[in-house]
Amino acid sequence: MSKLKLPEVEKAFIKYNKNIIKLARATLVEENLNVTKAMSESLGYEFKAFPNSIQNNFVGNKYADFQDKGVRGNTSTDRAPNSPYSFKPATTMVPFQPILEWVTARRYQFRNLETGRFMSYKSTAFLIAHSIPRKGLHARRFLSKHVLDNVDKLTEQLQTAFSIDFGRILLDDKIRVDDMP
């Protein structure tokens, strides 16, 4: 039995995926979350068509999913109550170097409450790296929001695409209605 080809369905998915990535990147810029641009540049999609199924996934760097869905803290779940991710109780600090790079790029410096002077970038990064596991990360929803908001549009496009593809299959001389299972 030959593999069923659905070029219009494939085009609909690819158009949808490109639009979602474009919207997610725009959201990262709008919400000022695109400091190093590494997360924005890592966003993409994987589309695979199999004989009996279609696989469609959005991909990004390791940190992108945590930023999108948030992470519950080990003492508080207020920042991401519905997140599938959480810090384990034994976690006391997230990796320091990425936080230091982020703090330096943003030029964030906390003030010492006693002296009123600015703390060093390292001290600020250290405090943030210790705070994140306790309090968690906010769900930014820069990708999942657009996926959910545009699913109805994809459904309409897929209905049209399936109609076109199946119409071509039925009209094709190589495949006859009598030969179909």
Q: Tell me: the pLDDT tens digits for 9-23?
A: 999 999 999 999 999
Judge whether 79 lies within some domain.
Answer: no
Segment 124-158, tens digit of pLDDT? 999 999 999 999 999 999 999 999 999 999 999 99
Q: Is residue 76 domain-resident?
A: no
Is the residue at 28 inside a domain? yes
Residue 13 lies in a domain: yes
Instruction: Kindly give, in sequence order, each residue whose CB lies less than 8 Å from that of residue 41, ignoring residues fewer than 6 positions away.
Output: none
Range of the domain at 154: 1-70+140-181
Give 25-59 pLDDT, tens digit per residue: 999 999 988 888 889 999 999 999 887 888 999 99
Say how many domains are in the chain.
Answer: 2
Residue pair 12/154 in contact by the 8 Å Cβ criterion? yes
72: left (phi over 0), alpha (psi -120 to 50) or beta: beta
Is residue 144 located within the same domain as residue 170?
yes
H or E element, residue 47 = strand 44-49
82 within a domain of the structure (yes/no): no
Do residue 42 and residue 66 come from a single domain? yes
Are residues 62 and 147 both part of a single domain?
A: yes
Spatial distance between the Cα atoms of 138 and 68, rounded to a whole number of angstroms: 8
